[in-house]
Each structure stands twice: as structure tokens, then as C-alpha cells.
Structure 1
Amino acid sequence: MKAPETDEDFIQWYEDCWADRDEVEYPKMFGAIDEGVFTLDQTDAIQAWMESELAQVQEADPNWGPMGVRVSPPSESYPYWTYVTSGLSNPFTVAPGEDIPDGAPSGLGYEMVIHSPEEAKWPVFRLLDMMAYNLVSLRAFAMGHRYPVEGSLDGGESKLSGFVFVRDPSRPDHFVLPSGKVQLLTLVGATRNEMAFARSNGMDKLMAKLVAAGSGYITQPDREEVKL
């Protein structure tokens, strides 16, 4: 497969890939998607990471600003809120006329998802910050990763202090755009002890404990630490 060669055709193709993800693939996987988008250019996340010692780029790519987070409210099939990034799988890594091998990732090759029992702002802020981290530090996430955060997950009294990256068995693990393959990484909130348990015993064993405790793949900031 080859990306369109002219700038005009490439821009249209780029926008079509974006629309295919947000308007076709996301509704199939998550149900109705709210029209609003929380974008990176509405925050200082990119600038904050640019000023950190982890920064690997000299200036922000203008393509990053419109990337953001989409929201899917509860439905009969999925009675909880879903927050999903929109943009990491944009083909911003491809140049006009460039060949795209079969099975190649689109953009960074993934989008991130957080499920929450209630409507909240913290999943939006966390996802935007982690998107900026990926783009500015040139560090990517993957299935099985653990990611501690500063303070608590929701900025309050939560005992959860990071995320584990897993596959949600209720959804496909990937979808395909004209620009390549996109993996879905579901982020589940965890305590430091739970993240350490996953490192030593495997992610499947941690998730089995979370499922048995009733939270499963939905992040509940006020939950207690599971018995390890």
C-alpha cells in the first residue's frame, strides 16, 4: 500500500483515516461517541513535557494539537463511561508517496482506553498527559506495561497510583485503518503493590484478582487494594 503522493490527496487521506477511526471503528467498539473532543492544544501537557528532562524533540509538531480524547457514555451493553484517545494512530509518521507495508502500524500503532464507573475529568487529564508523554519523549507504551503516576490517579484520596496496560476481553484487540493496524490498550488503575505483583507474577494473575474483586477492567479510584 502507498500513501497518496500529492499534498492535497495526502491531506484528504489523512483526514479520512482519522474519520474512519472516530466515526466508524469507535462507535462499533464503544457505542455512541459524544461529539465533543478534549484536545491537547487545550492543555499545557505538551509544553510541560517539552520542558522536562525526558524531552526528545526540539519543538512540537502542529499535527499533535488536535489529537485528544473522545468520550462514550454508558449504554445497555456497556454500563460505564469510556474514554479513548484519538490521534496516536494518525498517520503522522508517513510522508506523501511513502510505501506502507502490510500489517504496519498506523502512527504509533495504538490508542489508549480507560473505563470509569462515573463521568469524571481525571481520565481525560491522564490520557492527554500520557499522549503528550508519548509524543515528546518518543517513548511508546505496549501491552503488559506498567506506568506509575505522580500522586494518586484521580488527584484525590485514591490509593491507585498508576496503570497496567491490558487487553479488554470484551472488545477486539485491534482494528485496521487505510493507514495501518491499530492496537487498543486498556489502562486499568492499580496500586504500587498491585503493579509490583504484576511484574513478579504476570499481568493475567493480577487481572484475575481484580475481576474476582469486582472491579475488573473498570478503574474505580475509590476501591481498596486487592488481596495479593
Structure 2
Amino acid sequence: MKAPETDEDFVQWYEDCWADRDEVEYPKLFGAIHEDVIALEGSGALEAWLDNDDPSLPKEADPNWLPMGVRVAPPSPEYPYWTYVTSGLSNPFTLAPGDDLPEGASSGLGYEMVIHTPTEERWPVLRLLDMMAYNLVCARLFAVGHRYPVEGTLTGGDTKLSGFVFVTDPSRPAHFDLPSGKVQLITLVGVTKNEMAFSRSNGMDRLMAKLTDAGPAYITRPDRDEVKL
């Protein structure tokens, strides 16, 4: 299979893939979702990563990156918590008109990232925008099983959580399909420094089992205590 060969057809196909994800797949996965996208453009996240001394990294943003961003889904009867999900990392911006689409290939970077919280928060939006910019500018990708410490605390305020672990949420499909390829859903769970170290030494499954015993494991609760390790 190939991407459409003319520029006009390719642009329409690109937009259709985006719409399929945001308007069809996301409502199925997360319930009713706000129409607005909190875009990378104007957020300052791209500029922060573009301001670097590494000659191998870009100094200007790819125009394809600018409208990417974060979407927000409020609580629903099926999902009684807030959801923040990236929108754009799986856009087929890595392709050009006429490029081959191998069977089973990933769309774009191959994933989108998700954070769940019990109440509405601003910090998940800021974290996801920053991590999207990191992926795009530095070309360093995340995967299930990764760990990501942050400077200070996860929220920037009073919490014991100081980083994320990257996991698959068992309450949802691990991936979905677009005309441009497969997309993995990676859920980011906030953890403490000691919990992150525990997962490194004992495995992610054992950490998630302990978090599950202590409460809703896949929902990040900044006010929670560290689990007993």
C-alpha cells in the first residue's frame, strides 16, 4: 500500500487520518472529549527544546509539529476521571506523497501518550506538551516500560511524585489502527523516586501490582502516599 501520490490527495488523506483518530477513535477510547486542542504552537514547549547547543538537532520547528497538542476528556459514567491525551505524534508526518506503507507499520512516531487524574489539572497538559516537544526535537522516543524522572516534582507543587512510568492500561486496547498505520496508547503513571527505582530493580509489573493494591493504579493522584515497597 502507498500513501496518496499527489500533494492534494496526500494532504486530504493526512487530514482524514488525523480526524479518524481524534473524532472516531478518541471518543471510543475516552468518552466525550473537548473539541479544542491545546497546541504546541505558542506554548513555548518547542522553543525550549529548540534552544540547544547540539549541532545535530534542529533549530526551527517543522510546520507539521505546530498544530499538534493535547486534548482533554472530562469524567463520564464509564470513565469517572479526567483524561489528557496527546494529538499528533501519530500523524503521518514522517511520510511523503507516494511513500510505501508496509503492512503493520506504525503511523508517525507510532504512539500517543495519556495521563489520567481524579480532578481537573493543568500540569498534565504542560507535561505532555513538553514531552511531545522532546520527542519531536530530540528524536528520542518513548515506549512501554520506560521511566522518565523530572526536575523537582511532577506537578511543580507539593507532591511526592517525581516522574512517570510508561505502561499499557489494561482497561483499554493497547493500540488502534489508522489508514496510515498502527498507533500504540502509552499511559503515563506518576510515581515517586523510590517507586521508580523499585520498578527498575523488580520490574514494572511488580510496581503496578503494588500501586493497584493501594488504589486506582493507572490514575495519577499527586496527593497519594508512597506505596509500601
The answer for unaligned runs of 5 or more in structure 1 is none
**DSSP-derived class of the 1:14 partner:** helix
1:86 matched residue in structure 2 = 87
The answer for unaligned runs of 5 or more in structure 2 is none
What are the residue-to-residue correspondences of 1:49-198 with 2, within 5 Å? 49-53=49-53, 56-198=57-199
**DSSP-derived class of the 2:120 partner:** coil
**DSSP-derived class of the 2:23 partner:** helix
How many residues are matched? 228
Q: How far did residue 58 of structure 1 move? A: 3.3
2:199 maps to amino acid: A
Q: How far did residue 59 of structure 1 move? A: 2.0
Does the alignment pair 1:204 with 2:205?
Answer: yes
2:50 maps to amino acid: M
The answer to whether the Cα contact below 8 Å between 2:51 and 2:59 also exists between their aligned partners in 1 is no
Question: 1:20-75 CA distances to partner (integer Å, 9 max, x unpaired)?
Answer: 00000000111111111110003111010111356722321001010000111101
Does the alignment pair 1:17 with 2:20?
Answer: no
Distance 1:152 1:5 in 2: 47
Distance 2:39 2:96 in 1: 24
1:26 matched residue in structure 2 = 26
**DSSP-derived class of the 2:4 partner:** coil
1:147 maps to amino acid: Y
TM-score calculated relative to the size of structure 1: 0.98
Q: How far did residue 108 of structure 1 move? A: 0.2
**DSSP-derived class of the 2:72 partner:** strand
Distance 2:119 2:7 in 1: 43
Distance 1:53 1:188 in 2: 31
**DSSP-derived class of the 2:65 partner:** coil
**DSSP-derived class of the 2:113 partner:** strand
Distance 2:172 2:216 in 1: 17
1:14 maps to amino acid: Y
Distance 2:128 2:172 in 1: 19
Q: How far did residue 188 of structure 1 move? A: 0.1
| Aligned sequence identity (%) | 75
Question: 1:195-216 CA distances to partner (integer Å, 9 max, x unpaired)?
Answer: 1100110000000010100131
Distance 1:178 1:53 in 2: 38
